[in-house]
Structure 1
Amino acid sequence: MSRPLRVAIVGAGPAGIYAADALMKSEIAAEPGVSIDLFERLPAPFGLIRYGVAPDHPRIKGIISALHQVLDKPQVRLFGNVDYPGDITLDDLHRFYDALVFSTGADADRELGLPGIDLEGSFGAADFVSWYDGHPDVPRTWPLDAQKVAVLGVGNVALDVARILAKTADELLPTEIPPNVHYGLAANRAVEVHVFGRRGPAQAKFSPMELRELDHSPTIEVIVDPEDIEYDDGSIATRRANKQADMVASTLEKWAIRDVGDRPHKLFLHFFESPVEILGEDGRVVGLRTERTQLDGSGDTTGTGVFRDWEVQSVYRAVGYRSSELPKLPFDPLTATVPHEAGRVMEAGAHLASTYVTGWIKRGPVGLIGHTKGDANETVACLVDDHRNGRLRAAQTPDEDAVVAFLTGRGLDFTTWEDWHRLDAFERALGESEGRERIKVVEREAMLRAGTGRP
C-alpha cells in the first residue's frame, strides 16, 4: 500500500485514544504511515474520564493530559458531535477507511431484577453520574429530597455516588461542577447514606485510595458495623493473594473499632446484606429489604433467611455498567459485548473483515485504565497482523478530504480537535472568574458555540 493506512476509531474515550496511540507506535507508523480519525457522538472527547469520573477526583482526570498528547499528533483527527450509526453508518466507514476500531465503552446501568426496581425514587447510578458530571444528554435537574438513601454495590462507582450524596454542595463547589449541579446539590436533603454489599470486606471491589477518601470530608462520618468484619478461608486467601483487597479490609477493620463521631452526615458501609426488594408505597420508594448472608468457606455467601427492612426514600443501584448494542455488528446480550477474538470482531465463526473492538465494548466494564491500554495493544496487534498479511479490506475512497466532504454534505455540525481546545479554554476562563480550575459547559448547543465559535 503506497498511501497511509486509513483507520477509523468510533469512540474518543480512553480506549479509543489508547488504540490511536498504539497504532502510531506500531510498525505501520513507518512509511507510508497511518492516518487515524476518531469519531465521537459528544462534542467533546475523553468519554468517561470527562463524564464518568466524580468531579472531586482531579487526580484521575489528570489522565486527560496524557490523552491530549496523543490527540495532538498530526496523524490524528477528531470528529466530535458525530453519531454512529445516525450520522455515519458501517458501510460509510468501510468506504472511507481500511480498518475500523469500535471503542464505544459502556454508559448504561446493568439491569438488576429486584421487585420494586421501577418505583419512583429508584435510580441507576450511571444516570446520576451523568447528571453530576454535566453530561449534555441528561436532564438538568435531579430529585434529591430523600433524607435516607441506599446505594447498592461495593465498587468505586458506588463510593462515588455515596460520597456525592453525602457531601455538601459547598464542598464540591471548588470542582468543575456546573451551576445547575451545584444548585441541585444545595437542595440535597440526604443525611444518611447506606451502602450495601452481599459479601464481606475481603470481596469489596473498592480501590484502597477511593475508600480512604470517604473519610477525608469534614462533614461525612463513615461507619462500619464490627459484626460485618468477618472472614472465611476463601476471604483469607483473597487477602493474601491481593494486596489491594488486604488494604481495603484493613481500612474497614480500623473504622469498625473506632468510636462514632459527630460529623453531620452518616455514611454506613454494610456487608453481608443482599438486597431482595425495594419497598414502595403509593408508587414511591419507602424502604429496602435485605437478607442477611453468611460466608460459605470459599469467600462467597449464602442466605440465612433473616430479613431486615431499612427505611430509605431512594435507592441507587451501582452494580455495574452495560454497553449498548452497535447496529450492524454482532452483540452478545448476556455479556453486553461484541463477540471477538483478541479484538477481531467475530460473526458466525469468522472475522468480520477490517473490524475490531477495544475497551469495555470488547471485555465488559471491568478493570482500570491500565487494562484499557492493554486491550488496545492487543487489538492493534491483530490489526497490524491483518495488514501485514493482506487481510484488510481496502477503502474505496481513502482520501482524507472525502470524509470531511461527506460530513459537511450531510449538514453535520461536527467538532474538531481545534474546537476542543477552544471549548477547553472557554471552560477554564469560566472557572478562573470564580477561582476554580474550570466550570464545565453542559448544554450541547453551548458547547458547540464555545468550541466552533459559530453562533
Structure 2
Amino acid sequence: MTRPVRVAIVGAGPAGIYAADALLKSEAAQDPGVSIDLFERMPAPFGLIRYGVAPDHPRIKGIVQALHQVLDKPQLRLFGNVDYPNDIGLDDLRSFYDAVIFSTGADADRALDIPGSDLDGSHGAAEFVSWYDGHPDVARTWPLEAEKVAVLGVGNVALDVARILAKTADELLPTEIPANVHEGLKANKALEVHVFGRRGPAQAKFSPMELRELDHSPNIEVIVNPEDIEYDAGSIETRRGNKQANMVASTLENWAIRDAGDRPHKLFLHFFESPAEILGEDGRVVGLRTERTELDGTGNVKGTGNFTDWDVQSVYRAVGYYSQELPKLPFDVVSGTVPHAAGRVVDGGEHMPSVYVTGWIKRGPIGLIGHTKGDANETVACLLEDRAEGRLPAPVRPEPEAVTAFLEQRGVRYTTREGWYRLDAHEKALGAEQGRERIKVVERDAMLDASEPRS
C-alpha cells in the first residue's frame, strides 16, 4: 500500500482525538502515513469537554489545549455538523476509508427504575447539564421554581448539578455560560439541595478535589449528618487500598463534626438513603421517599425497611450516562455499549471488518477523561494489526476530496478546523466585551455562521 492509511473517526470528543493521536504516533504514520478525518455532529469539537463539564471547572476544560495540539496536525481534518447516520452512513464511510472508529461517547441519561421518575419536575441530570452548558439541541429555558431539590447519585455529575443549583447566578457569570443560562439561573429559587447516596462515604464516587470545591462558595453551606459516617470491614479495606476514597471519606468526616455556618444556601450530603419512589401530586413532584440502608460487612448495603419522605419539589437523577444506539452496529442495551473485542466491533461472534470503537461507547461511562487514552491505544493497536495482516478491505474511493464532494452533493453544511477557530475567536470576542474569557454561542445556526469565512 503506497497511499496513506485512511481512517474515519466518528465523534470528535477526547476519545476520538486521543485515537487520532495514537494513530499519528504509530509506525504507520511514518510509512505509508495516515490520513484521518474526524466527523462530529456538533459544529464544534471536544464533545463532553464542551457540553458535559460544568462551566465553573476551567481546570478540566484546560484539557482542550492538549486536544488542540492533535487537532492542528496536518494529517487530520475536521468535519463538524455532520450527523451519523443521517448525513453519512456506515456504508458511505467504508467506501471512503480503510477503517472507521466510533467514539460517540454517552450523553443520555441512564434510566432509574423507580415509581415517579416520569413526573413533571423529575429531570435527568444529563438534560440539565446540556442546558447549562449551552447545547444547541436542547431548550433555552429550564424550570427552576423548586425551593427544595433532590439530586440522586454520588458521582461527579451529581456534584456538578448540586453545585450549579446551589450557587448564585452571579457567581457563575465570570464563566463561559451563555446569556440564557445566566438569566435562567437568576430566577432559580433553590435554597436547599439534598444529594442522596444509597451506600456510605467510603463508596462515594466523588473526586476529592471536586468534593472540596463544594465548600469554596461563599453562598453554599455543606452539611453532613454525623450518623452517616459509618464503615464496615469492606469500607475500611476500600479506604486502605484507594487513596481517593480515603480522601473523600476524610473530607466528609471533617464536615460532619463541624458547626453549621450561616451561608444562605444549604447543600446536604446524605448517605445510606436508597431512593424508593418519587412522590407526586397532580402529575408533579412533591417529595422523595428513600429507604434507609445499612452496611453488610462487605462495603455493600441492604435495606432496613425504614422509609423517610423528604419535602422536595424537584428531583435530578444523576445515576449515570447512557450511549445512543448506532444504526448498523450491534448494541448491548444493558451496558449501553457496542460489543467488541479489544476495540474490534463484534456482531454475532464475528468481527465487523474495518469497524472499531473507543471511549465510553466501548467501555461504558466510567472513569476519568485520561482513562480514555488507554482505550484509544488498545483500539488503534488492533486496527494497525488488522492492516498489517491484510484484514482491512480496500475502500472504493480513498481520495480525500471524495468525502468533501459527497457531503457537498448532499447539501451538508459542514464546519472545518479553520471554521472552529473562527467560532472560537468569536466566542472569546463576545466574552472580552464583558470582561469574561468567553461567552459560548448556543444556537446551531449562529455557530455555523460564526464558523464561515467573513466576506
Q: TM range, normalised to the smaller chain?
A: over 0.9
Q: Give, in angstroms, the shift of residue 85 of structure 1.
A: 0.2
2:396 and 2:249 map into 1 onto residues whose CA distance is: 57
Tell me how far apart the structure 2 counterparts of residues 268 and 316 of structure 1 sit (CA, whole Å): 14
Matched letter for residue 444 of structure 1: R
Secondary structure of 1:127's partner? helix
What's the secondary structure of 1:92's corresponding residue? helix
User: What CA distance in whole angstroms lies between the structure 1 residues aligned with 2:394 and 2:325?
Assistant: 26
Match of 2:268 in 1: 268
In structure 1, the partner of 2:128 is 128
Match of 1:414 in 2: 414
Match of 1:351 in 2: 351
- Return the letter of the residue paired with 1:153: G
C-alpha deviations, 1:310-364, integer Å up to 9, x for none?
Answer: 0000000000000010000010111110000000000111110000000000000
The aligned counterpart of 2:81 is 81
Instruction: Kindly indicate whether residue 137 of structure 2 is the aligned counterpart of residue 137 of structure 1.
Output: yes
Could you tell me which amino acid in structure 1 is paired with residue 130 of structure 2?
S
User: Corresponding residue for 1:65?
Assistant: 65
* Secondary structure class of the residue paired with 2:263: coil
Shift of 1:422: 0.1
Distance 1:325 1:419 in 2: 29
Whole-Å separation in 2 of the counterparts to 1:22 and 1:186: 44
Report what 1:23 is aligned to: 23
Q: Deviations over 1:94-123 (max 9, x none)?
A: 000000000000000001011011100000
Deviations 1:64-93 (A, max 9, x none): 000000000000000000000000010000
1:426 aligns with 2:441: no
Deviation at 1:393, TM superposition (A): 1.1
The 5 A counterparts of 1:315-354 are 315-354=315-354
- Which residue of structure 2 aligns with residue 109 of structure 1? 109
Is the contact made by 1:239 and 1:246 (CA closer than 8 Å) also made in structure 2?
yes
- Aligned residue type for 2:5: L
Secondary structure of the structure 2 residue equivalent to 1:139: coil
Partner of 1:32: 32
Residue aligning to 1:149: 149
1:371 deviates by 1.0
- In the alignment, which residue of structure 2 is the partner of 1:385? 385
Residues 1:92 and 2:92 are matched in the alignment: yes
SS in 2 for 1:287: strand
2:229 is the alignment partner of 1:229: yes
2:173 is aligned with 1:167 = no
User: What residue is the counterpart of 1:177 in the other structure?
Assistant: 177
- What one-letter code is carried by the residue in structure 1 that aligns with 2:270? H
Give the corresponding residue for 2:405.
405
Question: Once the two structures are superposed, what CA deviation does each residue of 1:16-68 show, in whole Å capped at 9, x if it has no partner?
Answer: 00000000001110122000000000000000000000000000000000000
8 Å Cα contact 1:353-1:391 kept in structure 2 = yes
Report the Cα distance in structure 1 between the residues aligned to 2:261 and 2:126, rounded to whole angstroms: 31
Corresponding residue SS for 2:32: coil
CA distance, structure 1, for counterparts of residue 412 and residue 22 of structure 2: 29
Amino acid at match of 1:393: P
C-alpha separation between the residues in 2 aligned to 1:334 and 1:31? Answer: 41
State the distance in 2 between where 1:355 and 1:142 align.
Answer: 39
Per the TM alignment, residue 454 of structure 1 is displaced from its structure 2 partner at its CA by 6.9
In the aligned structure 2, how far is the partner of 1:121 from the partner of 1:417? 40
Are the counterparts in 2 of residues 203 and 299 from structure 1 also a CA contact under 8 Å? yes
Quote the residue 1:48 is aligned against.
48
- 1:190 alignment counterpart: 190
Q: Provide the residue aligned with 1:249 in structure 2.
A: 249
Q: How far is 1:453 from its partner?
A: 3.8
Which residue pairs with 2:362 in the alignment?
362
Residue in structure 2 matched with residue 286 of structure 1 by the alignment: 286
User: How many pairs are equivalent?
Assistant: 455
| Counterpart AA for 1:122 | S
Normalising by structure 1, what TM-score?
A: 0.99
Q: Cα RMSD (Å) of the superposition?
A: 0.7
Letter in 2 for 1:121: G
Q: What is residue 435 of structure 2 aligned with on the other side?
A: 435
- Verify the 8 A CA contact 1:448 1:454 in the aligned structure 2: no
Alpha-carbon displacement from aligned partner over 1:100-151 (angstroms, at most 9, x marks no partner): 0000000000010110111000000000000000000000000000000000
Q: Distance in 2 between matches of 1:101 and 1:206?
A: 31
3-state DSSP class of the match of 2:327?
A: coil
Contact 1:34 1:75 (C-alpha < 8 Å) held by counterparts? yes
Counterpart secondary structure, 1:406: helix
Equivalent-residue separation in structure 1 for 2:189 and 2:280 (angstroms): 20
Aligned mates of 1:113, 1:342 — CA distance in 2: 31
Which SS does the other structure have where 1:365 is aligned?
coil
Task: Provide the C-alpha distance between the structure 2 equivalents of 1:231 and 1:144, rounded to a whole number of angstroms.
Answer: 36
1:158 alignment partner, SS class: helix
Aligned positions of 1:283-322 closer than 5 A: 283-322=283-322
Structure 2 length as normaliser, TM-score? Answer: 0.99
User: Aligned to 1:289, what secondary structure does the other structure show?
Assistant: strand
Quote the sequence identity (%).
79
CA contact (8 A) 1:345 1:356 kept: yes
Query: Structure 2 CA distance, aligned partners of 1:265 and 1:347?
Result: 51
The one-letter amino acid of 1:315's match is V
Q: Cα deviations across residues 375-394 of structure 1 (Å, max 9, x unaligned)?
A: 00000000011111111111
Q: Does the CA contact (< 8 Å) of 1:6 and 1:34 recur in 2?
A: yes
The 1:437–1:287 alpha-carbon spacing in structure 2 relative to 1, beyond 3 Å, is: same
Tell me by how many angstroms 1:369 deviates: 1.5
Q: Secondary structure at the match of 1:420?
A: helix
**CA distance in 1: counterparts of 2:166 and 2:145, whole angstroms:** 13
Q: Would you identify which runs of 4 or more consecutive aligned residues in structure 1 move more than 2 Å?
A: none
1:148-183: CA deviation from partner (whole Å, max 9, x where unpaired): 000000000000000000000000000000000000
Q: Which residue of 2 aligns with 1:4?
A: 4
CA distance in 1, matches of 2:348, 2:148: 50
- The residue type paired with residue 415 of structure 2 is T
Aligned to 1:274, what secondary structure does the other structure show?
strand
1:418-437 per-position Cα deviation (integer Å, ceiling 9, x unaligned): 00000000000000010100
